[in-house]
Amino acid sequence: MAVSTQPIEAYLVNKPAREKPFPWGPALLITTALGFMALFLVLPLLIVFSEALSAGLAEYLAALDDPNVFSAIWITLIIAAIAVPANVVFGVIAAWCIARFEFSGRNLLITLIDLPFSISPVIAGLLEVLLFGLNGLLGPWLGNHNIQIIFALPGMVLATTFVTFPFVAREIIPLAQEQGNDEEEAAVTLGASGFQIFWRVSLPKLRWGLLYGVLLCNARAMGEFGAVSVVSGKIYGLTDTLSLAVESLYDSYEIQAAFAVASLLAMLALVTLVLKAALEWRHRDELHAVRRKKAAT
Amino acid sequence: MSATLGRRRILWRKPSILPGFAPSLTITLVWLGVIVVGPLGVMLWFTAGLGWRGFFSILAHPRVIGDLFVSLWTAFAASLVNAFFGLLVAWVLTRYRFPGRRLADALVDLPFALPTAVAGIALSTLYAPNGWIGHVLAPLRITIAFTPAGIVVAMMFVSLPFIVRTVQPVIEDLEAEQEEAAKLMGATDFDIFRRISLPAIMPALLTGFALALARCLGEYGSIIFIAGNKPMISEILPLLIVAKLDQFDYQGATAIGTLMLMVSFLLLLAINLLQAWVRRRHGG
């Protein structure tokens, strides 16, 4: 079929191409969409910073200069520093298994990996309590050995790992499937060992998708609230993450301080969005292949 | 392969020269079992320990049924409204070129990146009677914060990107030929959208709706600040689980957790069936 670059209107008899009327329809649609986004996305972001700075910069900094806030930052970082690498290692191994080989039960495996996406974070916390809590499955044994998991850091790490479980795997499995095995098979025939193939061929192919998954996983791990709140015991200054500190402060009517801590998390979100947009812009084709594949399933 | 030999093996694997199948599968299964499947199994096992009678006597409580109803209708309302606006946003972002489009496109993912507790206090401050949006609505006698409408607003915030990001690639891939042909034959823009574009987008829109619904049903952090949390009116099921756990009522929490799992799987199954029906009908 001959492809014309002229707009379709040019062919219509009673619509001369030169006097194009103002596109009222698209303008209305664009305004509505942007208005909706301003109301639902921009305003919540703005109010965080507006409330945080409502008493001036000095008060803002004073609210953050608090040992409890420092401890919350520290705990948040520790949780992310364990949960994210754990999910990266798992994601890469699962991607190797699922994308490089064809075997029965592959789709079931993908469904199981996706499971935490459709489970409430509160249930994720509940699961850890049922396993490790005082009356839980392993509770008595842990009690005898003086190991505390619930209302302590290990439980919070486990709950966060559950919630962020699919984030990395779900980004790189479709990407690896899309890329195929040609390079890996060529490497085998040239005599490369398994580890050489993995480090020199597979991992470099996946790096941008992997980075993308890490970004999303990290944002969720640092911001997780429901799952962590169930298992943390909410001991302010001891087992509070930044998200939990926001709740503690807000519930004790220290609104400005709550928003000051919230502004740290909002900045993390903005950095995540900027990096994500930059990655998408530079590696558009690769990441779009993933989106398309995910949308098709 | 094995089927051509006349007998299908239940477990098969396509031969490959790549190494590492057994170890990677083992690690995947073990890790999946320890983190996800095992704990879920423990919850179901605890539920089974209650027996049918115990299970139902917990669920038959009016507060449980009332909260389930609240969770369901607010999640449906939020996902439906978002199906409309999410489709609109996705359409505008892919079909039109205007200043600030890239910024708007990046901003769609904000709810993924912004921690839910932050969203919760931000929304509840915005919609409180003296807040930026609340004080505009107050003279109109509309209150959103601390009512079920607040739950819907918070759910809409967290679930918007699920719809936009599922629908967007499909709109990008729509073929222009059919639309152009329809336009040449004199169809209006709206007719073209309704008759040609929408049927092609529909399966993806349903997928997005399902993802949004699952997210809304499970959401906790952003809702509790704005909801008011009155039992059976503005209290959601996840909050009831937390309340039971705070009273060390493990059995109650377990039964409600299992109920939530069952409800969300039934809904996802129903939407999958609906999707299959739509695909068949439009030959997609």
In this predicted model, which residue has the larger pLDDT, A3 or B84? B84
The CA-atom distances, in angstroms, between B101 and each of A75, B95, B106 are 37, 11, 9
3-state secondary structure of A106: helix
How confident is residue B164, by pLDDT bands cut at 50, 70 and 90?
A: very high
Single-letter code of the amino acid located at A113 = I
| CA A281 – CA A259 distance, rounded (Å) | 32
Instruction: Tell me the pTM.
Output: 0.88
Nearest to B21 among A26, A97, A122 (CB): A97
Residues of A in contact with B108 (CB under 8 A): 37, 41
Closest among A186, A211, A184 to A198, alpha carbons compared: A184
How many CB atoms sit inside 10 A of residue B10's CB?
7
Q: Which residue has the tokens 């007719």?
A: B191
Mean pLDDT computed over every residue of chain A: 87
CB distance A94 to A166 below 8 Å:
no
Q: Which residue has the tokens 């998991």?
A: A149
CB contact under 8 A, B93 and A33: yes
**Pairs of CB atoms within 8 A across A/B:** 294
CB distance B33 to B238 below 8 Å:
no
The CA-atom distances, in angstroms, between A252 and each of A43, A72, B246 are 24, 17, 19
Per residue in A104-119, pLDDT tens? 888 889 889 988 988 9
Using CA atoms of A118, A122, A124, A130 in order, give the dihedral in degrees to the nearest 10.
-140
Closest among B168, B194, B192, B198 to B180, alpha carbons compared: B192
The CA-atom distances, in angstroms, between A181 and each of A89, A98, A176 are 20, 12, 8
| CA A235 – CA A73 distance, rounded (Å) | 14
Mutate to test the interface with A, among B81, B121, B242, B260 (most CBs of A within 10 A): B121
How many CB atoms sit inside 10 A of residue A256's CB?
18
How confident is residue A6, by pLDDT bands cut at 50, 70 and 90?
A: low
Per residue in B110-125, pLDDT tens? 999 999 999 999 999 9
ipTM: 0.88
Q: At what angle do helices A121-132 and B38-59 cross, to 10 degrees?
A: 100
